């Protein structure tokens, strides 16, 4: 080997190291579907978009806004499933969504409960179910959907209160020891009947947002509140035009924060709330679709997704106004890819084996990716989606087999 050859070899290696290609799923392409169990109902089922932790464990939450119960399925990274966790608190609120994940666990918010689920074992426990100081019930009114996992602490920001508190508190929840810190009481002091209509976080989790309403002097006040990762309120944006009857959890899914700092959410009455740090409004638009939710893509752009004879998607403008809707090709491809016979891995019990499902459809929403709670990132340009397979009836009540599969996701 000559001197040039000696020099060229490491240069070639460096080029390979930096530019080595990694295969991810194409939009609509799906990976190995994993059959994890049967749930009550027929598609679309009361299921929320799954989340995955860093170790590769995946978490499925059975629940919805209308159900005052929850059930968790945990798919272990190396295979196998655990289920049985059903921690939920309250009769008036349903399951919200997965709020975040860490190395080997994830947290969901259901009713008034914040629940930790361990990926290795599938065990779960309520976080701060009781106030450590007074031993009274703690009710999580709003949870910012971002878990900050750092070497020193794993935390999130939430608003909570006990039944005896006239006004809620907000602060940092230290998810390790299950303690709160940096508490501050909701202001103004004369606010009454504080409810959280929805929560959200920006892509980096540095900014949390809450849409809250309360009465003050007999008038309903609607505000968008920006919070930092220490639980402090950094901005309060007055929001005009909202229906005063809108109550807790009026936002479908989550509030989405764009790369420019605009916050947009779809409300249960079909109107759209949008605000930035200086203010905002609730607006009803004439739409050519049945809106389902607001999503944010990897670049920070916001989209209104919905159904109009098929999955459609519309960009949201500078003040949250929807643009022209177009067919959502990634959703269409995902639906087409699961037509016909689908080979599904049944790894609920060992030894794992494959089975064939003949009729498969999206288990959440009418079409793949069409949910209020946004699809969560599973891998680069990939989300984990749920597919419904064979169903049967128990005492007249339908039960449906469900599988989880990674699917390539893209926005136009």
Question: Pattern 167-206, binding to other proteins, x per CB under 8 A?
Answer: ---------------------------------------x
Q: How far is CA 315 from the centre of its chain?
A: 20
Compute the residue count for the chain: 412
Contacts of 69 (CB under 8 A, 6+ apart): 63, 86, 88, 95
Nearer to other proteins, 14 or 336 (CB): 14
The minimum distance between CB 284 and other proteins, in angstroms, equals: 36
Whichever of 16 and 183 has its CB closer to other proteins, that residue is: 16
60: CB partners within 8 A, 6+ apart: 36, 47, 48, 50, 72, 73, 74, 75, 386, 402, 404
Q: Considering only CA atoms, which of 174, 171, 210 is closest in space to residue 194?
A: 210
Burial class (CB in 10 A: 0-12, 13-18, 19+), 341: exposed
> What are the φ and ψ backbone dihedral angles of 398, each rounded to 5 degrees?
-70, 145
For residue 65, the minimal CB distance to other proteins (Å) is 27
Write the burial class of residue 107 (CB in 10 Å: 0-12 exposed, 13-18 middle, 19+ buried). Answer: buried
Among residue numbers 53 through 92, which ones bind other proteins (CB under 8 A)? 54-56, 77-80
Q: Which of residues 345-384 bind other proteins (CB under 8 A)?
A: 345, 347, 350-352, 377-380, 382
In terms of DSSP bridges, do strands 81-85 and 382-394 run parallel, antiparallel, or are they unpaired? unpaired
Q: Is 300 among the residues that bind other proteins (CB under 8 A)?
A: no
Figure out which of the listed residues 140, 196, 406, 411 binds other proteins, where binding follows CB under 8 A: 406
Q: Give the x/- contact pattern for other proteins in 3-42, rule: CB under 8 A.
A: x--xx-xx--xx-xxx-x-xxxx-----xx-x--------
Alpha helices in 54-141 (DSSP H): none
Where in 132-171 is the site for other proteins (CB under 8 A)? 148-153
What's the closest the beta carbon of residue 365 comes to other proteins, in angstroms? 21
Query: In the bound complex, what is the minimum distance in angstroms from residue 22's beta carbon to other proteins?
Result: 5
Residues 6+ apart with CB under 8 A from 217: 190
Q: Phi/psi at 348 (nearest 5 deg)?
A: -70, -40
Residue with smaller CB distance to other proteins, 16 or 336: 16
Between 121 and 290, name the residue whose CB sits nearer to other proteins: 121
Q: Which is nearer to other proteins, 219 or 350 (CB)?
A: 350
Give contact residues for other proteins (rule: CB under 8 A): 1, 3, 6-7, 9-10, 13-14, 16-18, 20, 22-25, 31-32, 34, 52, 54-56, 77-80, 125, 148-153, 206, 345, 347, 350-352, 377-380, 382, 406
């Amino acid at each position: 080997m000559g001197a040039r050859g000696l020099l060229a070899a490491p240069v070639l290696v460096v080029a390979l190291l930096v530019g080595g290609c990694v295969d991810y799923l194409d939009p609509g392409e799906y990976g190995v579907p994993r059959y994890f169990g049967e749930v009550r109902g027929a598609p679309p089922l009361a299921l929320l978009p799954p989340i995955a932790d860093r170790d590769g464990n995946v978490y499925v939450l059975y629940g919805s806004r209308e159900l005052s119960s929850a059930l968790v399925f945990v798919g272990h990274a190396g295979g196998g499933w655990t289920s049985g966790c059903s921690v939920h608190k309250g009769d008036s609120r349903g399951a919200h969504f997965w709020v975040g994940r860490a190395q080997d666990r994830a947290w969901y918010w259901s009713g008034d409960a914040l629940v930790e689920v361990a990926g290795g074992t599938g065990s779960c426990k309520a976080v701060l179910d009781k106030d450590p100081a007074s031993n009274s019930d703690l009710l999580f009114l709003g949870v910012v959907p971002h878990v900050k996992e750092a070497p020193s602490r794993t935390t999130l920001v939430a608003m909570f209160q006990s039944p005896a508190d006239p006004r809620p508190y907000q602060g940092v929840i230290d998810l390790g020891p299950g303690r709160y810190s940096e508490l501050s009481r909701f202001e103004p002091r004369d606010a009454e009947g504080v409810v959280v209509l929805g929560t959200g976080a920006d892509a980096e989790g540095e900014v949390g947002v809450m849409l809250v309403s309360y009465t003050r002097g007999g008038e309903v006040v609607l505000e968008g509140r920006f919070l930092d990762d220490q639980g402090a309120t950094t901005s309060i944006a007055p929001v005009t035009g909202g229906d005063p009857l809108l109550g807790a959890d009026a936002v479908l899914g989550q509030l989405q924060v764009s790369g420019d700092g605009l916050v947009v959410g779809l409300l249960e009455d079909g109107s759209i709330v949008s605000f930035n740090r200086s203010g905002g409004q609730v607006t009803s638009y004439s739409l050519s679709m049945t809106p389902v939710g607001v999503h944010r893509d990897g670049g920070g752009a916001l989209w209104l997704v919905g159904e109009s004879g098929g999955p459609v998607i519309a960009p949201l403008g500078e003040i949250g106004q929807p643009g022209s809707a177009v067919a959502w090709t990634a959703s269409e491809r995902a639906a087409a890819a699961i037509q016909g016979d689908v080979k599904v891995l049944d790894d609920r019990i060992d030894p794992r084996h494959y089975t064939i499902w003949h009729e498969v459809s999206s288990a959440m929403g009418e079409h793949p990716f069409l949910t209020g709670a946004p699809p969560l990132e599973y891998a680069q340009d990939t989300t984990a989606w749920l597919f419904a397979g064979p169903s049967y009836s128990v005492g007249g009540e339908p039960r449906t087999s469900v599988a989880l599969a990674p699917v390539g996701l893209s926005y136009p």
